[in-house]
A and B are shown apart, each in its own frame.
Chain A
Amino acid sequence: MTAQTPQTPDKRGLKSDQFSGLLLVVLALYIGWANREYPIGSLQEPGPGYMPLLLAIFLGSMGLLIAFWGGHSAPLRAVRWPEAMRAVVILIACGVAAFALERIGYRLTVIALMIFFLGVMERRRPLPVALVAVGFGFISFYVVADLLHVPLPRSPWGL
């Protein structure tokens, strides 16, 4: 039930398991609240809201138990996030790529994404970046779309 090993014993403040357990309780409450739109039905004929309600109760109970027994886990501030900024940037870049995929096509999206990761984030030299990005975009399209016949989006310019 421990998260990260704490540097020094600290009995004050919220513990990591208490925090994550409470988050699960909040999620369970949300499921229960969103489930109010669906009929629960009866025991003889359970409705579409029956199972989600059971699951919300189950998830909430687990969250409470995790929080209850989480007093000995590491303090919340001992959980380290050194790569968080980089992770957020990666997720945003992938999100932009998802947005662009059907608008500018697979090949251009992948080339742009590779250039961003290799050139901007990893600061590699421009020539290898350009070669890898273009090569990856075109070769993967050829293998997946042309050889394996998996339909992939093309740009309005045919790329």
Chain B
Amino acid sequence: MVETFDNLMLGFSIALQPQILVYAFAGCIIGTLVGMMPGLGPLAGISILLPATFGLNPIIAIVLLAGVYYGAMYGGSTTSILMRIPGEAASVMTCVDGYEMTKNGRAGPALAIAAIGSFIAGTFGVIGLMLLAPTLAGWALRFGPPEYTALLMMGLFILAYMSGGSMLKTLAMAGFGLALGMIGIDAMSGYTRFSMGIVELGDGVGIVPVAVGLFGISEILITAGQAAGEKVQKPKLRDLIPSREEFRLSAGPIGRGSLLGFLIGIIPGSAHIISSFVSYGIERRLARDPERFGKGAIEGVAGPESANNAAASGAFVPMMALGVPTSPVTAVMIAAIMVHGISPGPLLMSQQPELFWGFVASMYVGNVVLLILNLPMVGLFVNLLRIPYSYLYPGILCFCILGTYSVANSLIDVWIMLIMGGVGYVLRKFRYDLAPVALGLVLAPMLELSLRQSLAMSAGDYGIFLERPIATTMLVLGLVLFLLAIRPLIFKGKDWRSTVGLEEQQN
């Protein structure tokens, strides 16, 4: 504990440097704006900003990008509450009761509770990251190729189990992403695979064009041409203070949302989205008068907003401790760190303590910045929502092209982005979850390498996964979840989604 405290002090000595504070502040503002804009979620925002971080030192780069990430989580709630437009997917549930509160003239308290809940959950998530990541990293030092293979397989099974939609579709999308990850030079044999004679594809398909295409472009293709938005309410500072009763009703959902969000954040998939759905379902089930939900219940804002912010912090645990991304956002952030020659993973904390602890401390600072920023300046940010969408989406498209091109100065990346945009549009029409595609793409090289190394170690015997206790445990856990996930398909029963009301809410 003393060592953790010393390390945290080291982190604060870095995070409180004026230069880093400025970048944390800039990241939070950009993130808030990005989160408010439909079609430009945290992933597209981070991807577009990625090339600009290449010239920065790695601590500043990650502080800036992390600021964008959790800033977007905050920002998404503003449009959800005031306009019933989720700036990013995790804010969908906030729309339901948040907008009803706005119609009832309680937009201010809804915004305030969303910001306070996000602050508490974000801080809770950072404490969890600080305590859990070093322990997990120490444990992961014992991992060899079989353990990594089992970990990645378990991650994919958990992803399927926890997906908001169909388990089969989620697995199919993970398989599609893994197949995309096969494009390029095979690290072990030197063969160039599936490149179709395009030299640039030798380096493989990058996460940025795929992510921006799937999440940014496809969103614009779906939403472009929609009718103009409604008039936006602009709450005054004095209207923001919630009543004593609203505080009392929000305390439980914020606490539960923080814990739930953090735990869901650690596992792979669209954790921040799922956590907000699950939190809403749980709060509705726990409420004495669930009929208030959907008509402006403050618990319906407090729970999901806390959960999605805690999940954003939770996602950093496996990223930092294991070097394994659990979401497309953390995958892009790993790419950002690796550009500087630093590999996230078990050795990061011992070899680069100033980076890890500076990052942790900057998240504390970022949460404070966002609380200060979001409440008094909400009126200012709301002005952005007055820009007609017909002016906004061409700008977003230009930023998508710009951001994707600048990562490697490659037009091939822009073409990949456009193709993935079209693919994402079609897949969304057929209700496929897109996050597993991006995740599969990132995990593919790790999974292939560790599987082939494991088989080489055991002279081709798959039994190696059953001889090593950690690998066996992870595989059994993954398999159990997989069997639980397919049980409702075979026996026509209900699964956890219907238990928390997720299917109902998605429809």
| A residues neighboring B (CB under 8 Å) | 1-3, 5, 16-17, 19-20, 24, 27, 31, 34-35, 38-39, 42-52, 55-56, 58-59, 62-63, 65-66, 69, 79, 81, 83, 86-87, 90-91, 94-95, 97-98, 101-102, 106, 110, 113-114, 117-118, 122, 124, 132, 136, 140, 144, 148-152
Indicate whether B398 reaches chain A with its CB closer than 8 angstroms.
yes
Asked whether, in the complex, the Cβ of A44 is within 8 Å of the Cβ of B406, the reply is: no
Bound Cα distance from A90 to B220, whole angstroms? 9
Question: Given known contacts A43-B460, A94-B418, is B402 in contact with A140 (CB within 8 Å)?
Answer: yes
With beta carbons under 8 angstroms apart, the residue of A44, A98, A114, A118 that contacts B456 is A44
Indicate whether B74 reaches chain A with its CB closer than 8 angstroms.
no
Bound Cα distance from A34 to B451, whole angstroms? 22
6 A-B Cβ contacts within 8 A? A3-B431, A38-B193, A55-B175, A62-B175, A94-B418, A148-B51
Question: Given known contacts A83-B221, A98-B415, is B455 in contact with A51 (CB within 8 Å)?
Answer: no
Question: Given known contacts A51-B182, A106-B402, A118-B394, is B172 in contact with A63 (CB within 8 Å)?
Answer: yes
Bound Cα distance from A124 to B507, whole angstroms? 35
Chain A: which residue is nearest B405 at the CB level?
A101
Bound Cα distance from A50 to B186, whole angstroms? 11
Query: Shortest beta-carbon distance, A41 to chain B, in Å?
Result: 8
Task: Please give 15 more A-B residue pairs, beta carbons under 8 A apart, in addition to A101-B401, A106-B402, A122-B391.
Answer: A3-B431, A43-B460, A46-B455, A59-B175, A62-B171, A62-B175, A87-B224, A90-B220, A90-B224, A95-B418, A97-B401, A117-B397, A136-B395, A151-B406, A152-B406
CB-CB nearest 10 A-B residue pairs = A43-B460, A117-B394, A62-B172, A87-B221, A44-B460, A48-B186, A48-B191, A148-B52, A59-B175, A122-B390
Question: Given known contacts A20-B432, A150-B52, A152-B402, is B193 in contact with A91 (CB within 8 Å)?
Answer: no
Chain A: which residue is nearest B448 at the CB level?
A51
Indicate whether B143 reaches chain A with its CB closer than 8 angstroms.
no
Q: Which B residues between 206 and 261 are near A, CB-CB below 8 angstroms? A: 217, 220-222, 224-225
Q: B417-461 vs A: 1/0 string, CB under 8 Å?
A: 010011001000111100000000000000110011001100111
Question: Given known contacts A94-B401, A114-B394, A124-B390, is B409 in contact with A151 (CB within 8 Å)?
Answer: yes
Q: Determine the chain B residues whose CB is within 8 A of the CB of A65 once the complex forms.
A: 168
Most buried by B among A27, A38, A149, A150: A150
Bound Cα distance from A3 to B166, whole angstroms? 11
Asked whether, in the complex, the Cβ of B409 is within 8 Å of the Cβ of A56, the reply is: no
Indicate whether B169 reaches chain A with its CB closer than 8 angstroms.
yes
Chain A: which residue is nearest B53 at the CB level?
A148
Q: How many A-B pairs with Cβ below 8 Å?
A: 166
Question: Given known contacts A1-B166, A43-B455, A44-B456, is B409 in contact with A86 (CB within 8 Å)?
Answer: no
Indicate whether B131 reaches chain A with its CB closer than 8 angstroms.
no
Query: Shortest beta-carbon distance, A159 to chain B, in Å?
Result: 16
The total of chain B residues at the interface (CB under 8 A) is 62
Question: Given known contacts A24-B172, A50-B452, is B431 in contact with A91 (CB within 8 Å)?
Answer: no
Bound Cα distance from A46 to B401, whole angstroms? 38
Q: Determine the chain A residues whose CB is within 8 A of the CB of B411 once the complex forms.
A: 98, 101-102
Bound Cα distance from A106 to B456, whole angstroms? 49
Asked whether, in the complex, the Cβ of B172 is within 8 Å of the Cβ of A59, the reply is: yes
| B residues neighboring A (CB under 8 Å) | 51-52, 54-55, 166, 168-169, 171-172, 175-176, 178-179, 182, 186, 188-189, 191, 193-194, 217, 220-222, 224-225, 390-391, 393-395, 397-399, 401-402, 405-406, 409, 411, 414-415, 418, 421-422, 425, 429-432, 447-448, 451-452, 455-456, 459-462, 489, 507
Q: Determine the chain B residues whose CB is within 8 A of the CB of A90 once the complex forms.
A: 220-221, 224, 397
Query: Shortest beta-carbon distance, B422 to chain A, in Å?
Result: 6
Q: Determine the chain B residues whose CB is within 8 A of the CB of A58 once the complex forms.
A: 171, 175
Bound Cα distance from A27 to B115, whole angstroms? 45
Bound Cα distance from A27 to B63, whole angstroms? 40
With beta carbons under 8 angstroms apart, the residue of B395, B406, B451, B452 that contacts A144 is B406
Bound Cα distance from A95 to B418, whole angstroms? 7
Asked whether, in the complex, the Cβ of B397 is within 8 Å of the Cβ of A66, the reply is: no
Q: Determine the chain B residues whose CB is within 8 A of the CB of A98 once the complex forms.
A: 401, 411, 414-415, 418
Asked whether, in the complex, the Cβ of A17 is within 8 Å of the Cβ of B430, the reply is: yes
Asked whether, in the complex, the Cβ of B455 is within 8 Å of the Cβ of A62, the reply is: no
Bound Cα distance from A154 to B399, whole angstroms? 17
Query: Shortest beta-carbon distance, A108 to chain B, in Å?
Result: 12
Most buried by B among A49, A87, A122: A87
Q: Determine the chain A residues whose CB is within 8 A of the CB of B168 once the complex forms.
A: 1, 62, 65-66, 69
Bound Cα distance from A118 to B178, whole angstroms? 38
Q: Determine the chain B residues whose CB is within 8 A of the CB of A122 once the complex forms.
A: 390-391
Question: Given known contacts A51-B452, A97-B401, is B172 in contact with A91 (CB within 8 Å)?
Answer: no
Asked whether, in the complex, the Cβ of A110 is within 8 Å of the Cβ of B398, the reply is: yes
Chain A: which residue is nearest B453 at the CB level?
A46
Asked whether, in the complex, the Cβ of B429 is within 8 Å of the Cβ of A3, the reply is: yes
Asked whether, in the complex, the Cβ of B175 is within 8 Å of the Cβ of A48, the reply is: no
Asked whether, in the complex, the Cβ of B52 is within 8 Å of the Cβ of A144, the reply is: yes
Q: Determine the chain B residues whose CB is within 8 A of the CB of A5 once the complex forms.
A: 507
Query: Shortest beta-carbon distance, A30 to chain B, in Å?
Result: 10
Asked whether, in the complex, the Cβ of A113 is within 8 Å of the Cβ of B397, the reply is: yes
Query: Shortest beta-carbon distance, A136 to chain B, in Å?
Result: 6
Asked whether, in the complex, the Cβ of B179 is within 8 Å of the Cβ of A31, the reply is: yes
